[in-house]
Amino acid sequence: MSAIYILWLRELKRYVRSRVQIVVSLGQPLLYLLALGFGLGPVFQKAGSGSYLQFVAPGVVGMTVLFSSVFSGIAMLWDRQFGFLKETLVAPVPRLHIMIGRTFGGATVAMIQGAMILVVCLIAGFRPQHWLAIPFAFLFVALIAVVFAALGTGIGSTIKDMQGFQLIMNFLVMPIFFLSGALFPLSHLPWAMNVITKLDPLSYGVDGLRGALIGQWHFGFMLDISMLGILAAAFLGMGAYMFSRIQI
């Protein structure tokens, strides 16, 4: 268990030391929040759906956690390149503990970035249905972070090329984000889109965040929490298997 804690702490220290990463990581979520939240606000209001900022803010938080957690797997490629991963793997520590420590470290960083974006949303005018809803929402933030940090770690375990990792992640991440309902309601969609959104893991995370923060549920609390829990266990298992097969 000490290996899990050490690797978790190492990921946090790496993030805290990178002040540029902290600032740059907020750029894209802020663009979506401000450009879409205020730009499409009048259209959304004319459609009789209320404030678009209220609707899109949970989706932007979910997007931030998704991007940060899934790209945490790129740190494994850096460690492989500079030899740190080899030193870690030859240590008398189960590889499962190493993988869990790295995954939880990446997930914690993603949660911190999600918290920062939520603060920005509050400054921009977003208001949750109750202030006690914020701790409840972080249950879904944590689950989203673990699901996609495990996915990123698993993929980072099988790819040795930095450019290949970025291409695969962009191929996966952008459809996952855009089809999750982060930017549009999931109700009254065409049949094909309805099926695709139900297959998207982030759909349940965004729906959970939106339900916790503003009381608008599409799937419902039990389905959201169950699906995210199952996916977290499945991706952790998949990531552990891929990590166990790393060849240095």
* Domain regions of the chain by residue span: 2-244
pTM of the model: 0.86
Per-residue pLDDT reduced to its tens digit, 180-203? 888 888 888 888 888 999 999 999
Higher per-residue pLDDT: 115 or 86: 115
Question: How far is it, in rounded angstroms, from Cα 15 to Cα 150?
Answer: 18
Structure tokens at 77: 């490629």
Per-residue pLDDT reduced to its tens digit, 222-239? 999 999 999 999 988 888
Q: What is the pLDDT of residue 11?
A: 62
Number of Cβ atoms within 10 Å of the Cβ of 160: 14
Structure tokens at 105: 């470290």
Sign of the CA dihedral running 166, 107, 185, 130: negative
| Residue in the structure block whose two tokens are 């663009």 | 31
| Residue in the structure block whose two tokens are 């879409």 | 36
Q: Could you give the C-alpha distances from 11 to 17, 18, 92, 237, 241, in angstroms and in order?
A: 10, 11, 20, 21, 21
Per-residue pLDDT reduced to its tens digit, 33-79? 777 767 666 666 665 566 788 888 899 999 889 988 887 777 777 66
C-beta of residue 15 within 8 angstroms of C-beta of residue 108: no
Question: How far is it, in rounded angstroms, from Cα 248 to Cα 234?
Answer: 25
